[in-house]
Amino acid sequence: MAHVIPFKAVRPSRDKVGLVASRSYQDYSVEELRFQLEHNPFSFLHIINPGYKFQKEIAGNKRFQLVKNRYLEFKEEGVFIQDPEAAYYIYETVSRNQTYCGIIAATSVEDYEKDIVKRHEDTISHRENLFKDYLQTVGFNTEPVLLTYPDSAVINSISAEIKAERPEYEFSSLNRDTHYLWVVNDPDKTAKIKAEFDKMPAVYIADGHHRCASSWLLAKESEENNPEHTGKEPYNYFMSYLIAESNLKLYEFNRLVTDLNGMSKKEFLMQLDEWFRIENRGTEFYKPSKKHHFSMYLDGEFYSLYLRKTSYEFTDSLSALDPYILFVKVLKPLLGIDDPRNDLRISYLPGRNESFEVKKAVDEGAFAVGFGMLPLTIEEVKQIADEGLTMPPKSTYIEPKLRSGLTVYEF
């Protein structure tokens, strides 16, 4: 059973929420970040970029402590207020083309340890420990782990009932998305939501593997340092945003490589021919239409690459994934990309961008070749997790992407 419980969120006051909530820090260009910091004193970016106050770049533990200080200032000034009662939070975003709706809650770190919260990616230990130290110093988390669960008629019914009422928040962001949040603290409704999650044998990490792993590390360390540990302390949970599988949107990541590893174009195509049937598509934009089909942009032309299935052996669910096939048959043996997570010769472009972005990157000379594929399905992701396997880095780009500062979980 999945332990998903309500919690007392720290939230922006209703009149300031549209000013406080921000995109992920990494999503801002230098110019956008500077504009927000200069013109919006309520932006959550001031908390996670505390050096701006002193016009100085600050890193490490000193930065962590200043993040905590800025957060406490927001609470002291009444920008952030903690709810008096534990609640679930229904959060919905509406864009021109898509609506996402899920539940912000606290999920058990023990479930992560027991593989009830299932993962499909490897994590890097130094990043886990860095974020664990960050959490330990600041004492709060504002970026929920994105979890997904099988569609539930009960949760859908409760959500529809609650969404018929006036939301606590309703605001628009600069990208024209509209954001809604409802506070669910009615004991009967919270009990029904909890009971429904209790029935689920597993939930799956869609995005946020490192945040989840860091929360688990923090819980283990906190337990060791707390002789009065009961298992109910806030550090035994992490903030999550749970969304039904049917409401997730999965995109692929295109691969861009800076060079052909010393090969000429002709040599590279001859090497590819062993594993793929190659068709030159000329300057016509090409995107794959089937699993195990790939697109390639090289030297001003698009190519289609069809896997020769008579030569390739499918041994498990991982071997059938297109990102894995591209890695083991092209990126590693031909282009010399042994570590796709850290090799500076490879970059990744979310498939939600159009094909011309791959073409543009290659035509401008930053890269020699680009590859595309179909996005994975949620069924493929779940199968990898169920079998205890891990996908290559950047196998999926998953939406929704969540805003920071909307709800805060304190330890």
User: If you search the block for the tokens 């090497």, which residue do you land on?
Assistant: 271
> What pLDDT does 27 receive?
84
Do 220 and 314 reside in the same domain of the chain? no
> What pLDDT does 96 receive?
87
Mean pLDDT over residues 273-292, rounded?
94
Task: Look at residue 389 and tell me if it is in a domain.
Answer: no
Do 344 and 210 reside in the same domain of the chain? no
Please say if the pLDDT value at position 283 is more than 80. Answer: yes
Confidence of residue 174 (pLDDT cuts 50, 70, 90): confident
Lowest average pLDDT, out of 83-92, 308-317, 373-382, goes to 308-317
Do 193 and 237 reside in the same domain of the chain? yes
Do 96 and 218 reside in the same domain of the chain? yes
Mean pLDDT over residues 198-207, rounded?
97
- The C-alpha atoms of residue 80 and residue 406 are separated, in whole angstroms, by 10
User: Reduced to 3 states, what is the DSSP secondary structure of residue 297?
Assistant: strand
Do 40 and 114 reside in the same domain of the chain? yes
pLDDT tens sequence across 11-54: 999 999 999 999 888 888 889 999 999 999 999 999 999 988 88
> What pLDDT does 354 receive?
67
Do 100 and 158 reside in the same domain of the chain? yes
Task: Look at residue 127 and tell me if it is in a domain.
Answer: yes
Q: How many structural domains is the chain composed of?
A: 2
Q: Residue 363's beta-bridge partner residues? A: none
Do 298 and 185 reside in the same domain of the chain? no
- The C-alpha atoms of residue 229 and residue 146 are separated, in whole angstroms, by 27
Please say if the pLDDT value at position 97 is more than 90. Answer: no
Please say if the pLDDT value at position 355 is more than 70. Answer: no
Task: Look at residue 384 and tell me if it is in a domain.
Answer: no
Do 237 and 307 reside in the same domain of the chain? no
Q: Which domain holds residue 82?
A: 4-249+399-410
Mean pLDDT over residues 348-368, rounded?
89
- The C-alpha atoms of residue 375 and residue 323 are separated, in whole angstroms, by 9
Task: Look at residue 221 and tell me if it is in a domain.
Answer: yes
> What pLDDT does 352 receive?
79
Q: Residues with Cβ < 8 Å from 90, sequence gap 6 or more?
A: 101, 102, 103, 104, 159, 162, 163, 180, 181, 182, 184
> What pLDDT does 71 receive?
97
> What pLDDT does 24 receive?
84
Task: Look at residue 390 and tell me if it is in a domain.
Answer: no
What is the 8-class DSSP label of residue 351?
A: T
Do 239 and 335 reside in the same domain of the chain? no
**Cα–Cα separations (whole angstroms), residue 8 to 105, 241, 297, 340:** 10, 15, 50, 40
